[in-house]
């Protein structure tokens, strides 16, 4: 059973065409008790993501055959919500925002320290299985949160009007965190610390804005006039309950 995973050993797929970097990532992740699979171009990465069902993907952007953005976008369109961390070669703000907009969870800028990579993997890896499909029972036992939105915290699924919404782990965690503290405003720094589990924040707070925007597109009837996740200008975000 090549796909069988124990609780202790999560599978990380490394998609990186520079073999020396792929090797050092593998070495350091295996030290931390992860299983590691490697792919050396975008097409192989996409195939392995589909076949091996990894718990997290480290995805280089500049890859032969298919760039990392396309791999990420295809997986998300297929409804695959595996946590994806992009490896970006430059401090290009555009690359970071584009990556987050197409559904990546996080990014690491090269050159990176192994400590940073391991910390990001640990912060992003799926702690609970996120089922891809809704069951009628999961919808029935979901807790109403507000309006027609309901959350089943056992199955980690979110429903609007009884219909499951496909969220990434980070989107799910952001929504459940805000919804469990209704009407309380959290700054972007608060959210980076509480939801992303980052001890340091820097300029990464834009990650919060992009994730909120993506979440609104999924849960709000009109993302431009949201009714669930609202902005308190200059202060942060909150989940509105009347
Ligand atoms: Ca590359």
Three-state SS sequence of the chain? CCCCCCCCCCEEEEECCCHHHHHHHHHHHHHCCCEEEEECCHHHHHHHHHHHCCCEEEEECCCCCCCHHHHHHHHHHCCCCCCEEEEECCCCHHHHHHHHHCCCCEEEECCCCHHHHHHHHHHHCCCCCCCCCCCHHHHHCCEEEECCEEEECCCCEEEECCEEECCCHHHHHHHHHHHCCCCCCECHHHHHHHCCCCCCCCCCCHHHHHHHHHHHHHHCCCCCCCCCEEEECCCEEEECCC
- Kindly state the average pLDDT of the residues 73-83: 92
> Which pLDDT score is estimated for 18?
94
Please tell me the distance between residue 130's alpha carbon and the centre of ligand 1 in angstroms: 29
Confidence class for position 1, pLDDT limits 50, 70, 90: very low
Distance from the alpha carbon of residue 17 to the mean position of ligand 1, in angstroms: 5
Distance from the alpha carbon of residue 93 to the mean position of ligand 1, in angstroms = 18
Reported as a single tens digit per residue, the pLDDT across 82-98 is 999 999 876 666 777 78
- pLDDT at residue 96, rounded to an integer: 76
| Mean pLDDT of the region 49-74 | 96
Ligand 1 (single-atom ion) residues, CB below 5 Å: 17, 60, 62
- Reported as a single tens digit per residue, the pLDDT across 152-206 is 888 888 888 888 888 888 899 999 999 999 999 999 989 988 888 766 556 577 8
Identify the weakest region by mean pLDDT among 126-130, 181-185, 220-224. 126-130
């Amino acid at each position: 059973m090549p796909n069988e995973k124990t609780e202790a050993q999560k599978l990380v797929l490394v998609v990186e065409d520079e073999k020396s970097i792929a090797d050092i990532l593998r070495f350091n992740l295996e030290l931390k008790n992860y299983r590691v699979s490697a792919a050396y171009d975008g097409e192989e990465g996409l195939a392995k993501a589909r076949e091996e069902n990894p718990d997290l993907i480290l995805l280089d952007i500049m890859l032969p055959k298919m760039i990392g953005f396309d791999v990420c976008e295809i997986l998300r369109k297929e409804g695959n919500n595996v946590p994806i961390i992009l490896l970006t070669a430059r401090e290009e703000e555009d690359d970071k925002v584009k990556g987050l907009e197409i559904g990546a969870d996080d990014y690491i800028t090269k050159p990176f320290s192994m400590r940073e990579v391991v910390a990001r993997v640990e912060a992003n890896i799926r702690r609970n299985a996120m089922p891809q499909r809704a069951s009628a029972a999961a919808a029935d036992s979901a807790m109403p949160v507000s309006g027609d939105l309901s959350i089943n915290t056992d199955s980690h699924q979110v429903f609007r009007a009884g219909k499951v919404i496909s969220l990434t782990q980070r989107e799910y965690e952001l929504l459940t965190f805000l919804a469990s503290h209704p009407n309380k405003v959290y700054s972007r720094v608060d959210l980076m610390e509480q939801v992303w589990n980052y001890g340091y924040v820097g300029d990464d707070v834009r990650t919060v804005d992009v994730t909120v925007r993506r979440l609104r597109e999924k849960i709000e009837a009109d993302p431009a006039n949201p009714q669930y996740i609202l902005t308190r200008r200059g202060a942060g975000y909150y989940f509105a309950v009347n």
